[in-house]
Structure 1
Amino acid sequence: MKSIASIALVDDELRNDAPVAIGVSGGKDSQAAALATFRYLDQIGHSGPRILVHSDLGVVEWDDSLPTCERLAQHLGVELLVVRRNAGDLMERWEARWRSSIERYEQLSTVTLVPCWSTPSMRFCTSELKTHVIRAALKRRYGGRLVVNVTGVRREESAARSKSSVADREAAHPIINWRPIVDWTVQDVFSAIDTSGLAPHPAYRDFGMSRVSCRFCIMSNIADLTAATIQPESHDLFRRMVALEIASSFAFQGARWLGDVAPQLLNAATSRGLAEAKVKAAERARFEKFITPEMLYVKGWPTRMLTDSEADILALTRQAVSGIFGFSSSHLDRAGIHERYSELMADKAASDARKRKVAIHAA
């Protein structure tokens, strides 16, 4: 097995027998990272606590993802801690996000409709359903003790990950994030798994997937999406996700509609609904183009009142979009827009004043 990467930041804590938590998804990289990390810990005489942690994302997961993690834990002779988001799984999060988007739009708490899906630049699927949940579980288990958190991130995976460091210390949590196989190739990964006597997730060699995460991932290429649709276990999820594309008029991957990947899995009514959703999407985009960049949502929105002409633009856009979707929107004319912005500005000023007061008292 290829050697792993480590630095003094990690090794100093391991010599003090810091707890080691290895995040495992069922994918090849986390599986290899766990195997390599355990070998290294044994070599250096680490005798602190070790656990595997799996964050279950619910119905979007492959059937064999959790069993793969369970077999890995059994092989290593270690506990597998399974954690889940209390507020629901990832599919429920996407569906709830669309309901929230409608409510916010109707009340003019956002300028444009907010997509329901996570995106490569807004991966709340990872932050909310994995990172935050795992952080909370580690805090409950180890209190304020520093934990070495292991992930299977590799630089070869993407341009973004090519910049990954071997390890770093989190400012907000007593956690060191360690990426021991950061320099491994995909061949190194599969070799480590095969040498151990374990098998990788069947999605790789049986299904023909290049990566294993959710059955349908926002990062998947068309080949992986197509391969996923071939598996009968994914069909119910596929139809549920296409139903959300239809309801929201937002394609799963920006310009790529999941429903187009396997139209043979859709009935006639659903196919018509998908075609209608694409028309709605084009109409929504056509009207939202009238909104100028200066009017769009930014952090701290709203930062100012709109001019009369801007209010007219927003009112006409809201009338059109609300009509397309059948929303019960308020604030649909110039006066209503100005009234709502005035209310939002007043609420924001009051909130900022409360924050300043708290900060003064804390100081």
Structure 2
Amino acid sequence: MTNLVPARVAYATGPRDERAAATEVAAARRTRDVPDLATFDVILVNSSGGKDSQAMLDVVAVAASAARVLHRVVVQHNDLRRVEWPGTRDLARRQAEHYGLRFEVRRRSGPDLLEDIRQRGKFPDAARRWCTSDHKRGPGRTLITALVHELRLDRPARVLQCFGFRAEESPGRAGRAELSYDQGASTQTTRHVWTWLPIHSWTVDEVWARIHATGVPYHPAYDLGMSRLSCSFCVLASKRDLLTACRARPDLAYEYAAVEAEIGHSFRKDLRMAQLIEEAGM
């Protein structure tokens, strides 16, 4: 396991009220440790373009700059095509460019998620999240392979992959370690991969305080009332978010409903897409 050193956190200057400033200080204290970034050959930041990814990216960029390894940071976005919110990929790119970072896009070959659901005849659920493994984790590992190949080292590359997962989001994420070795992504001969969750202990208020302090734009879906920016219609989303998404993206909602009717499988065990459309007043 890599050595840990105290975090060094800096904030962009700019107007903010006292409450936001106090929240930033609390968030800085909660970023207790960062890995010794100088010991990694590649620092891969996974960006969905959402608020948690955005705050996490700022923490990583500040820490990497302090360690003089900002050039080793690569920002990756997994393109989910029509099921993700419009403009997400371009926003993730602009967020990376704000820090002068390399930006890479990966997507699963073959059908997009909604077509994949239709072909499988079922929606994913909390116990069977093949949407994550096939459309996010799989493409992400192909990028790790490519980046390690570029280095042409005579030893296994040390890779640090960073995610914006927070304990507050779910019991499953609460149980994750802030720094861990990823056996599944590692190999004996080419790469040793660690996972770092820089904002694991942060609250949502701390996340937004960090975003507002940087002045970097965030996705407008949040101003519509969305609390998360995963797939537009994530099976794990709250009902409130799903209703908001129905009103914002009615055409896609009807596509989901058509697939639901065709395969005879509910969007969620306790909730049908047709029901959401009706409740959304569409």
Q: Which range, TM-score by smaller chain? A: 0.7 to 0.9
Query: Are 1:179 and 2:197 matched, yes or no?
Result: yes
In the alignment, which residue of structure 2 is the partner of 1:96? 119
1:47-126 to 2 correspondences below 5 Å: 49-98=72-121, 116-126=122-132
Q: Do the aligned residues in 2 keep the contact of 1:73 with 1:79 (CA within 8 Å)? A: yes
Q: Name the one with the larger strand percent.
A: 2
Number of residue-to-residue matches in the alignment: 243
Shift in Å at residue 67 of structure 1?
2.1
Amino acid at match of 1:51: V
Equivalent-residue separation in structure 2 for 1:125 and 1:219 (angstroms)? 11
Query: Are 1:150 and 2:167 matched, yes or no?
Result: no
- Give the direction of change, closer, same or farther, for the CA distance of 1:67–1:47 in structure 2 (3 Å limit): closer
Equivalent-residue separation in structure 2 for 1:263 and 1:256 (angstroms)? 12
- Structure 2 residue matching 1:53: 3-state secondary structure: strand
Structure 2-normalised TM-score? 0.81
Identity of aligned residues (%): 28
Q: Name the one with the larger helix percent.
A: 1
1:14-73: CA deviation from partner (whole Å, max 9, x where unpaired) = 222421010000110011100111101112333551110000111101002112201101
Shift in Å at residue 80 of structure 1?
1.2
In the alignment, which residue of structure 2 is the partner of 1:6? 33
Query: Are 1:24 and 2:41 matched, yes or no?
Result: no
Q: Do the aligned residues in 2 keep the contact of 1:6 with 1:166 (CA within 8 Å)? A: no
Shift in Å at residue 191 of structure 1?
0.9
Q: Which has the higher contact order (CA 8 A, sep 6+)?
A: 2
Equivalent-residue separation in structure 2 for 1:79 and 1:222 (angstroms)? 36
**Radius of gyration: which is bigger?**
1
1:191-340 to 2 correspondences below 5 Å: 191-205=209-223, 207-231=224-248, 234-263=249-278
In the alignment, which residue of structure 1 is the partner of 2:68? 45
Structure 1-normalised TM-score? 0.64
**Cα RMSD (Å):** 1.8
Equivalent-residue separation in structure 2 for 1:219 and 1:178 (angstroms)? 23
Equivalent-residue separation in structure 2 for 1:55 and 1:5 (angstroms)? 29
Q: Do the aligned residues in 2 keep the contact of 1:156 with 1:185 (CA within 8 Å)? A: yes
Amino acid at match of 1:96: Q
- Structure 1 residue matching 2:180: 3-state secondary structure: strand
Q: Do the aligned residues in 2 keep the contact of 1:148 with 1:178 (CA within 8 Å)? A: yes
Equivalent-residue separation in structure 1 for 2:72 and 2:123 (angstroms)? 37
Q: Do the aligned residues in 2 keep the contact of 1:17 with 1:48 (CA within 8 Å)? A: no
In structure 1, list runs of 5 or more residues that go unmatched: 99-115, 268-363
Amino acid at match of 2:251: D
In the alignment, which residue of structure 2 is the partner of 1:133? 139
Equivalent-residue separation in structure 2 for 1:210 and 1:41 (angstroms)? 29
Equivalent-residue separation in structure 2 for 1:250 and 1:19 (angstroms)? 42
In the alignment, which residue of structure 2 is the partner of 1:164? 176
Equivalent-residue separation in structure 2 for 1:66 and 1:24 (angstroms)? 9
Q: Do the aligned residues in 1 keep the contact of 2:48 with 2:92 (CA within 8 Å)? A: yes
1:87-111: CA deviation from partner (whole Å, max 9, x where unpaired) = 221112111212xxxxxxxxxxxxx
Q: Do the aligned residues in 2 keep the contact of 1:218 with 1:253 (CA within 8 Å)? A: yes
Q: Do the aligned residues in 1 keep the contact of 2:243 with 2:279 (CA within 8 Å)? A: no
- Structure 2 residue matching 1:66: 3-state secondary structure: helix
Equivalent-residue separation in structure 1 for 2:259 and 2:33 (angstroms)? 44
1:87-143: CA deviation from partner (whole Å, max 9, x where unpaired) = 221112111212xxxxxxxxxxxxxxxxx1010111111111101110111112213
- Give the direction of change, closer, same or farther, for the CA distance of 1:34–1:171 in structure 2 (3 Å limit): same
